Structure 1
Amino acid sequence: MWQATETAWNGGSEVPGAAGAAGVRSGLAQQHLMRVFDEIDYGMLIIDAQGRILHANHLARHELANGRIIMSYGNSLLGSSAEFTSQIQQAMESSFRGQRKLLMMTVGDKELSLAFTPLSHPLEADAPSVLVLLSRQSTCDNLAVRMFARTLNLSPSEESVLMGLCRGLSIADIARQHGVAESTVRSQIKTLREKAGAPSIRRLLHRVNSLPPVVPALRIITPMPHNATEFSHP
């Protein structure tokens, strides 16, 4: 795949003596692509026909390490319960037959959705593989929200109110959490809207939800290499 891309970049012509340089560029391109995957605010897993995890990006490794709903055992994707594991295996089998599947799993207050997408076509010669996309991170976990607050020069209390709104808390809930009167929270929200140029709370949250996703840098306690076959989970 990378060689084909290099040929396209070179206008479809071979450059004599450029095989070594092309290989180096290909390796660098792959490294950059893996880093790009780590900055996507969806967990991403690539699984081969034997059920082995070929690659897990940053958020997927975080979710696997958490082990509350999904985990890795013997480099295979499993659920935290026999029922979840069975659902995952059935979804993967369907994906290898060319079907797309969506699973929604819940444990307590934790909910995780998994979308299984075949990456190969039955008539193509490449090795079959499946892309598993995990739920998008919570808006409150998007580092861009904190950056948005800094850009607007929000005070710490105003930023805290903004985070409360992002979590879906009511004005009464935010006031109770901060130990202040509801009128104080309403005043802070009014200032928030003015600084953001939003005529309503709905428009304010719309602006927040449309921010580019920025993945927090420190989600994994111990570093894990990109090669999923080499990492282990706590």
Structure 2
Amino acid sequence: MFESAAEAISYVGPERRTRGNDLWQLLAAVLDEVDYGLMLVADGGRVIHANHFARQMLEGGVWLEIRAGKLKALNPKYQVQLLDAIVAAQHKDARTMLNMGVEGAAASGLSVVPLPIAVDSDTHTQRPVLITLQRSQLVEALSVGAFARAHNLSRREEEVLGCLCAGMKPAAIAQQLRISEGTIRTHVHNLKLKAHCSSMVELVKRVAVLPPIMTALKAGPLVSQ
């Protein structure tokens, strides 16, 4: 927990950090390590912190953006729903899932989650809430890369694994990688042997349950148990 909720809520950027905010800096660093889009927002949608993955997802502003320090939906209807969900989380401990998008673009979703952080009695700012952004696919590239390193996969085997995790069939993978379907099936066989899996479904599940850590590929070789 922060040293005080007022300190945490008043934070708006690196220039506002002080030694008294060590716990806040630690929490922000933890959020930045997670391979999901996560944001802490306060009243009115004011963004306290958006992790690296959230900022990456919001680049281009297709359905959400951070404008003047606040999280905003580009569609006015969704903006009302977003603000209502934040208020419900702050005052009623309500969890809300929202599906939103804009015409001509794929719909995306987010969850608004209440956090048990008390607000100092002398502040008028409400407690922050956690917003998680929907992942674009079941297994992200970082997880595939981490799994590949842990099991000493070749570059081609990693490519095949990534395609499997994206839901592609062997024939489609062969066409995309411009190799024969028989070669793809050989790679899949080798993948199952190296990962000690009995099927492609089990293989994909093994990757999907990896901890979603952003720096998994920066920390050196991984050890698989």
Same fold (TM over 0.5): yes
Distance 1:146 1:193 in 2: 16
Match of 2:60 in 1: 66
Mapping of 1:11-50 within 5 angstroms?
Answer: 24=19, 26-50=20-44
Mapping of 1:132-143 within 5 angstroms?
Answer: 132-136=131-135, 138-143=137-142
Residue 197 of structure 1 and its aligned partner are, at CA, apart by 0.8
Residue 114 of structure 1 and its aligned partner are, at CA, apart by 1.2
Q: Partner amino acid for 1:57?
A: N
Partner-residue secondary structure (3-state), 1:102: strand
Match of 1:227 in 2: none
Residues 96, 37 of structure 1: alpha-carbon distance in 2 compared, 3 angstrom cutoff: same
Partner-residue secondary structure (3-state), 1:194: helix
Identity in percent:
34
Match of 1:173 in 2: 172
Match of 1:149 in 2: 148
Verify the 8 A CA contact 2:144 2:158 in the aligned structure 1: no
Which 4+ stretches in 1 moved above 6 angstroms? 121-124
Q: Partner amino acid for 2:100?
A: M
Structure 2 gaps, min length 5? 5-17, 217-225
Verify the 8 A CA contact 2:36 2:212 in the aligned structure 1: no
Q: Partner amino acid for 2:46?
A: R
User: TM-score under structure 1 normalisation?
Assistant: 0.72
Residue 212 of structure 1 and its aligned partner are, at CA, apart by 1.9
Is residue 101 of structure 1 aligned with residue 96 of structure 2?
yes
Residues 123, 214 of structure 1: alpha-carbon distance in 2 compared, 3 angstrom cutoff: closer
Verify the 8 A CA contact 1:51 1:76 in the aligned structure 2: yes
Q: Partner amino acid for 2:189?
A: K
Residue 215 of structure 1 and its aligned partner are, at CA, apart by 1.7
Verify the 8 A CA contact 2:119 2:127 in the aligned structure 1: no
Which structure has the greater CA radius of gyration? Answer: 1
Structure 1 gaps, min length 5? 5-22, 218-234
* Corresponding residue to 1:113 among 86, 109, 112: 109
Q: Partner amino acid for 1:171?
A: P
Tell me whether 161-170 or 84-93 shows the greater mean CA deviation. Answer: 84-93
Q: Partner amino acid for 1:34?
A: A
Match of 2:72 in 1: 78
Q: Partner amino acid for 1:179?
A: R
Residue 72 of structure 1 and its aligned partner are, at CA, apart by 1.1
Q: Deviations over 1:29-56 (max 9, x none)?
A: 3322211110112222222224321222
Verify the 8 A CA contact 2:143 2:208 in the aligned structure 1: no
Verify the 8 A CA contact 1:139 1:209 in the aligned structure 2: yes
- TM-align CA RMSD: 2.9
Verify the 8 A CA contact 2:139 2:208 in the aligned structure 1: no
Partner-residue secondary structure (3-state), 2:153: coil
